Structure 1
Amino acid sequence: MRMHNPPHPGEVLKEWFAEVSITTAASKLGITRAHLSRILNGHAGISAEMALRLAACLNTSPESWLQMQMNYDLWQAEQRPLPPIERLAA
C-alpha cells in the first residue's frame, strides 16, 4: 500500500539544505541555482543523475531519492482518472 499523499522530494531536500543557501547548495551539486530552486519548489523532479549528485553530496543513497520521486509521481498519477483501458488477450 502506498503512502497517502507523499511529499515531493524537494520538500525533503529543503530540510537537508536548511542551513545552507540555495546558491551554495547548487554550487556543491554542480547545478544552477534555478534548477535547484525548481526541485525545491516541486516544479522539477529528481532524475537519476540528480539522485547520484544528491547521494554524493549528502552521503545518502541515490535509490532513496528516486524512490521518493516515484512514490510522489505515482500518487499524483493515481489522482487523475485513466481513459478506458483494454486488456491484451492472453
Structure 2
Amino acid sequence: MRSTDDYKPGTPGEVLQTRFLTPNHITKYRLAQAMNVPPYGIGEIIQGKRRITLPMAIRLAYVLGTTPEYWLDLQRDYDLKHFDVSRIRGEVHPLLSPGLAEPRES
C-alpha cells in the first residue's frame, strides 16, 4: 500500500476532488457557487474532460486559498506527461540541434 505522500492523482480534477473537496466536505455545486461558474464546468474538470484555464486557476486559487500557479502547474505537468508527441513529429522540422539553442536575453 502506498503512503498518501506517494499518491499522485492523474488529473488536476482528481487533485481538486481528493485534496480539497472531499476532505473539506465541499460539493461541486457549492464550489461552483463560490466561484460563480456553472456546476457542470467543475464536474467536467473533476472528470478530466476540461482543462484548468488561467481564469479558472485564478478562481480556484481565490476560493480555496491556493495560488493560480498551483493549478496551472498541475495542468501543465499533466499535459506534458500525457501529450502524444507522435501526433506532431511528422509535421514539424527542427531548425536547431537539441542543446544548441541559447535562451535570448530580454
- For normalisation by structure 1, the TM-score amounts to 0.83
8 Å Cα contact 1:6-1:71 kept in structure 2: no
RMSD over aligned Cα atoms: 2.0
Unaligned runs of 5+ in 1: none
- Give the Cα separation in 2 of the matches to 1:74 and 1:26: 27
Structure 2 residues not aligned, in runs of 5+: 1-7, 98-106
Distance 1:57 1:74 in 2: 27
Structure 1 counterpart of 2:68: 62
Compare relative contact order (CA 8 Å, sep 6+) and give the higher one, 1 or 2: 1
Q: Which has the larger radius of gyration?
A: 2
Q: Name the one with the larger helix percent.
A: 1
Q: Distance in 1 between matches of 2:32 and 2:9?
A: 24
Q: Which residue of 2 aligns with 1:22?
A: 28
Q: Which runs of 4+ in 1 moved over 4 A?
A: none
The percentage of counterpart residues that share the same residue type is 31
